Amino acid sequence: MAVLLCAVAAIAQAPATPVVTLAQVALTTSDGVRLSGIVYRPAAAPSPVGLMLVHGFGANFYESYFPYLGRAAAQQGMVVLALNMRDHDTGPKTSDFTDNQADIAAGIEHLRSLGAKKIVLLGQSMGTNRVLYYQAASGDSSVAATVLVSGPGNLFQWNVWQFGQKKAQETVSDALRVQAEGRDRDLMLVDLGPLGKALYSPRYLLSLRGPTAKSDPYQNIQKVKNPVLILQGKADKLIEPEIAERLHRAAANNPKVEVQYVDGANHGFSSQQPLLADRVLKWIKSALPSKQSWERH
């Protein structure tokens, strides 16, 4: 009897078969930059849908709700990649915003190598600008749906909202002056208001909010034809409350754009992770409803 009880106890304490496997990856972009990330895979055969999570300014692949969402999506059959962009975390910034096209392309190619046929791009905060630019510049037809969470909108306008037109323009003018002096990669201390201060090169700053910057989401979303979910928390203090509606209006030619608001959610959905995951995953399944998208799970 004692042996039987011990056997039952051992079975009860045995670890369950994992429904999701995790693997850290290192990818190399077409221009030779090494990027770190993590892949969440379902234990069963995955569906043909792959989800790529693209972080915002000063963040990385394991912050915010990405781990929760990555596991939740993999439990529903998707292969998920959360990948660092080359300007991840809070160190000095010297790259160009448009370089993120190569970063996202490397991530999509990796998802394809894992069997994904349809790609969903999710951008968090400034990641929304990244995924919209990627699609506008590349025209990648494998991107089947787009999720924009906590988008800041036009980055120069965000600075005007924080500091006023005069100070926002002074920062751009200083960067243009240093650039004209041939010091495009020198570092400048830039005030980001509620985000603190950061070291930017003129090259980096002007690629985000200079006169010829290509980061404007209102322009780029006009070229996105796949279904788009715009998700915004009503307690987000880092962005203007009407950004979601501005994005929606800018995408007026796309009938497949939906705006959803979440009461009580802040910029990073820190206390609303299960709700965010539920909203995003339900929307993806409704946006890609064909049986073929899910039949392998």
Buried b (16+ CB within 10 A) or exposed e, 85-108: bbbbeeeebbbbbebbbbbbbbbb
Please give the Cα distance from 148 to 209 (Å, whole number). 20
pLDDT of residue 294: 56
Tell whether 201 is covered by a domain. yes
- Residue 27 contacts residue 1 (beta carbons within 8 Å): no
Q: What is the reported pLDDT for 268?
A: 97
Q: What is the pLDDT of residue 4?
A: 34
Residue 48 lies in a domain: yes
Output the DSSP codes for 176-199: HHHHHTT-TTS-EEEE-GGG-EEE
In a domain, 138, yes or no: yes
- Residues contacting 174, CB < 8 A, separation 6+: 188
pLDDT of 40? 98
Residue 49 neighbours by CB under 8 Å, 6+ apart: 77, 78, 79, 116, 117, 118, 119, 120, 144, 284, 288, 293, 294
**pLDDT tens for each residue of the chain, 297 residues long:** 443 334 334 334 444 556 899 999 999 999 999 999 999 999 888 899 999 999 999 999 999 999 999 999 999 999 999 999 999 999 999 999 999 999 999 999 999 999 999 999 999 999 999 999 999 999 999 999 999 999 999 999 999 999 999 999 999 999 999 999 999 999 999 999 999 999 999 999 999 999 999 999 999 999 999 999 999 999 999 999 999 999 999 999 999 999 999 999 999 999 999 999 999 999 999 999 865 555 555
- If asked whether residues 165 and 235 sit together in one domain, one would say no
Kindly state whether residues 207 and 63 are assigned to the same domain: no
In degrees and rounded to multiples of 5, residue 125 shows phi and psi of 55, -120
124 with 177, same domain: the answer is no
Backbone angles phi, psi at 103, to 5 degrees: -65, -50
Residue carrying structure tokens 């400048």: 188
Which CB contacts under 8 angstroms, 24+ apart, belong to 65-68? 65/124, 65/268, 65/269, 65/270, 65/273, 65/276, 65/277, 66/124, 68/273, 68/274, 68/277
Q: Which helix (H) or strand (E) holds 98?
A: none
Asked if the structure places residue 104 within a domain, the reply is yes
What distance in Å separates the CA atoms of residue 94 and residue 184, rounded to the nearest whole number?
9
Identify whether residues 48 and 187 lie together within a single domain: no
With contact defined as beta carbons under 8 Å apart, do 118 and 288 qualify? yes
Q: Would residue 205 count as lying in a domain?
A: yes
Q: What is the pLDDT of residue 16?
A: 55
Q: Is residue 14 domain-resident?
A: no
Whether residues 39 and 97 fall in one domain:
yes
pLDDT of residue 289: 81
Identify the CATH number of the domain in which residue 23 sits.
3.40.50.1820
Last residue of a domain, one of 194, 214, 234: 214
Residue 44: per-residue pLDDT: 86
For 71, the domain range is: 19-154+215-289
The structural domain count of the chain equals 2
Q: Which of 214, 233, 250 delimits the end of a domain?
A: 214
Domain check: are 147 and 50 in the same one? yes
pTM: 0.92
Asked whether 268 and 53 are in contact (CB, 8 A), the reply is no
- Answer whether residue 110 is part of any domain: yes
Helix (H) or strand (E) holding 69: helix 66-75
Q: Give the three-state DSSP class for 173.
A: helix
Tokens at 244, concatenated: 């979601």
Residue ending a domain, among 193, 214, 235, is: 214
Residue reference for tokens 């924009």? 148
Strand partners, 234: none
The verdict on 63 and 193 lying in the same domain is: no
Greatest CA span in the chain, whole angstroms? 85
pLDDT confidence of residue 15: 47
